[in-house]
Amino acid sequence: MTDLVAATGKERREFLDLMRTEAGEGLEAAQKVLGISSQQFEGFVESVGRVCVIRHGDESAGFLWIEERDRGLHVHGIVVKQPFRGRGVATEALRLLEAQYSDSVGAVELGVHHANHEARALYEKLGYQTVHHVEDVGFDILRKAL
């Protein structure tokens, strides 16, 4: 069973470390385009939206960073830890997120790097559609109406 719970300070730091490892050049490119430092990015994670731990059973399987915006929910980041990949954890987490917010927002949106074909395939399988290309960062924004 998968559940989403608020991250502690220690877990937010773990999320940041995983984002740096997993997003690597994509994260650095986004920071450069936005004109922000790594420290400023850390500040955004602390102050914008909230980070949730994706719990799979009793284990921490990954993280979601989400923010409510004008009748929509934006997923700033989703990271599934390596041992849990390919086991449906991201699918379950996104479906749970959609169910939790279906009465309060009209859509869920998220960004995906052009090179992340596996994530894009998952999002499209779940009904997300590309609505915007951000070429200078190498990302597409996908949206799913709820």
pLDDT for 45-87, tens place per residue? 899 999 999 999 999 999 999 999 988 999 999 999 999 999 9
Write down the pTM of the prediction. Answer: 0.91
CATH, domain range 2-145: 3.40.630.30
Alpha-carbon gap, residue 72 to 89, rounded angstroms = 23
How many percent of the chain have pLDDT more than 70? 100
Radius of gyration of the chain from Cα atoms? 14
pLDDT at residue number 73: 97
Angle CA(45)–CA(15)–CA(76) in degrees, nearest 5?
50
In the three-class reduction of DSSP (H, G, I as helix; E, B as strand; rest coil), residue 85 is classed as coil
Domain range annotation of the chain = 2-145
The answer, yes or no, to whether residue 133 has pLDDT greater than 80, is yes
Residue 61: Cβ within 10 Å count: 22
Q: Which residue has the tokens 């596996």?
A: 118
